[in-house]
């Protein structure tokens, strides 16, 4: 265990928050899998089951509009309210007992997606008030590790419950974990200033976009992350072709490879803080994208060992890129703007990946999956070079304030709470702007 990880776990408030991520992430990961299975079971339609994902991810495309709300309220009360609201809303699904009420599943999943955006934005603004700057990468890495760990076990538990008792027990489990996470948030000490009087919606949105436009180093990292997730989306689109045409195995084998990729993500999350301190933002992004390039290349080889190693490399590299940009947003953005900036970053980074899934599926109708993966690997290699050399030097000014240099990590002083030398401050922790509990 690294020095940074030990310090983060030694902070009482950070530990309570991570416990909330653990329990809420378990319920969420189980529910998101079961929602699609439930629709398929009631309707017999694979296309309707697939549309469940649209309700969850759709709000991300308008995240900048939703994220403005996170800067209009105190963040911890907002987080508690959002978790309690989901705990109260989920039992509506207990009314689902036939195909005629499947629409309730879609409605609740759409609410899930909106809550994800708001939770992301509010959490991102709280992180610097609990974790010193040099530990932000460790905290974000631990949060990713917890989420990925839940994805390895919770879907199996959810599927088992559904197979034995139907969807209602999973609904109650998820509602209970949201309520428990809200209770843990109430135990966290936090000192938040009253938000300034709300400005017109359009002006607040423009301020968030303007921050990225002015901050060249952060803008470059966001562009690299969006391109990385585009390539990762192409990889996901050809996953079944890799298993079927490449390895000649049944579709269920994707579950095995998903576990391998999850192991890689766990390793990346645990190593993130140390690697950020040693390499800095741009070099770590370049290394992580290079790992993605190697992984894509190996996944094009029609043999189990190379595909397994390549899948592990993809799982290791992609989360590192995300953790790097999350940490940079937290360090380089004034606290009053973090909610809307992180929501904008969500759209700019996850949007390309969503489109890439559609594009990759279309390409498979025209060319072999090995060609698709090889071209994507070449693109990742070029992206790694651009991440290392193509961007401006970090540490650009942020409006009237001076941002912390992205290549260094100094303690954050946000919302009037400065860390005590050698210890994290006692305030509320939060998570990175992307990947709410259960979503990676």
Q: pLDDT digit string (tens) for 377-393?
A: 999 999 999 998 755 55
CATH for the 3-390 domain, from 3.30.160.60, 1.20.1250.20, 3.10.580.10, 3.40.50.300: 1.20.1250.20
Query: What average pLDDT does the structure give for the chain?
Result: 79
| The pLDDT value given to residue 1 | 57
- Residue 416 token pair: 């009037």
| The pLDDT value given to residue 297 | 96
pLDDT per residue as tens digits for the range 175-191: 999 999 999 989 888 77
72 DSSP assignment: S
The more confidently predicted of residues 396 and 322 is 322
CA distance 239 to 235: 6
Does the pLDDT at position 278 exceed 80? yes
CA distance 67 to 50: 26
Does the pLDDT at position 88 exceed 90? yes
Report yes or no: 14 and 424 within 8 Å, Cβ to Cβ: yes
* 202-208: average pLDDT: 74
Q: What is the DSSP string of 127-168?
A: GGGTS-GGGHHHHHHHHHHHHHHHHHHHHHHHHHHHHHH-SH
| The pLDDT value given to residue 350 | 81
| Confidence grade of residue 402 (pLDDT, cut at 50, 70, 90) | very low
| Confidence grade of residue 60 (pLDDT, cut at 50, 70, 90) | confident
Phi, psi dihedrals of residue 425, rounded to the nearest 5°: -70, 160
- Of 85, 115, 77, nearest to 179 by C-alpha is 85
pLDDT per residue as tens digits for the range 216-245: 889 999 999 999 999 988 888 788 788 888
| Confidence grade of residue 412 (pLDDT, cut at 50, 70, 90) | very low
437 DSSP assignment: T
Q: Per mean pLDDT, which range of 29-43, 158-172, 304-318, 353-367 is the poorest? A: 353-367
Phi/psi class of residue 34: alpha, beta or left (left: φ > 0; alpha: ψ in -120 to 50)? alpha
CA distance 73 to 96: 34
Phi/psi class of residue 196: alpha, beta or left (left: φ > 0; alpha: ψ in -120 to 50)? beta
389 DSSP assignment: I
pTM for the whole structure: 0.71
CA distance 128 to 213: 22
- Residue 397 token pair: 């000014």
| Confidence grade of residue 198 (pLDDT, cut at 50, 70, 90) | low
- Residue 321 token pair: 């890129």
| Confidence grade of residue 437 (pLDDT, cut at 50, 70, 90) | very low
């Amino acid at each position: 265990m690294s020095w940074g990880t030990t310090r983060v776990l030694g902070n009482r408030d950070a530990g309570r928050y991570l416990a909330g991520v653990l329990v809420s992430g378990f319920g969420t990961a189980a529910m998101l899998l079961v929602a699609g299975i439930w629709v398929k079971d009631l309707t017999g339609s694979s296309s309707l089951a697939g549309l469940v994902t649209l309700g969850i991810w759709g709000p991300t495309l308008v995240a900048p509009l939703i994220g403005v709300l996170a800067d209009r309220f105190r963040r911890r009360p907002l987080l508690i309210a959002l978790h309690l609201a989901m705990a109260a809303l989920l039992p509506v699904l207990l009314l689902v007992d036939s195909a005629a009420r499947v629409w309730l599943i879609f409605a609740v999943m759409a609410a899930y997606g909106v809550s994800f955006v708001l939770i992301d934005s509010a959490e991102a603004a709280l992180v610097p008030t609990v974790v010193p700057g040099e530990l932000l990468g460790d905290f974000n890495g631990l949060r990713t590790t917890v989420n990925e760990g839940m994805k390895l076990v919770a879907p199996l538990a959810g599927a088992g419950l559904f197979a034995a008792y139907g969807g209602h027990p999973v609904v109650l489990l998820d509602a209970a974990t949201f309520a428990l996470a809200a209770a843990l948030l109430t135990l966290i000490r936090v000192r938040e200033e009253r938000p300034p009087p709300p400005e017109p919606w359009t002006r607040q949105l423009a301020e968030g976009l303007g921050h990225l436009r002015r901050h060249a180093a952060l803008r470059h990292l966001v562009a690299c992350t969006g391109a990385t997730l585009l390539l990762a989306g192409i990889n996901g689109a050809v996953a079944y072709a890799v298993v079927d045409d490449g390895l000649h195995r049944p579709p269920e084998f994707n579950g095995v490879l998903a576990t391998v990729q999850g192991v890689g993500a766990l390793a990346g999350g645990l190593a993130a803080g140390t690697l950020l301190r040693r390499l800095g933002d741009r070099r770590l992004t370049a290394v992580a994208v290079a790992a993605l390039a190697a992984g894509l290349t190996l996944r094009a080889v029609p043999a189990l060992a190379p595909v397994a190693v390549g899948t592990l490399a993809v799982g290791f590299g992609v989360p590192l890129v995300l953790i790097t940009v999350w940490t940079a947003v937290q360090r380089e953005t004034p606290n009053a703007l973090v909610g809307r900036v992180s929501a904008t970053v969500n759209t700019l980074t996850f949007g390309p990946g969503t489109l890439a899934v559609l594009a990759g599926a279309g390409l498979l109708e025209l060319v072999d999956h090995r060609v698709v993966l090889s071209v994507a690997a070449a693109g990742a290699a070029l992206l790694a070079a651009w991440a290392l050399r193509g961007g401006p030097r970090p540490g650009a000014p942020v409006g009237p304030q001076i941002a912390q240099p992205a290549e260094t990590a100094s303690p954050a002083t946000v919302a009037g709470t400065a860390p005590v030398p050698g210890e994290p401050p006692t305030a509320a922790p939060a998570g990175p702007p992307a990947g709410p509990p259960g979503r990676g």
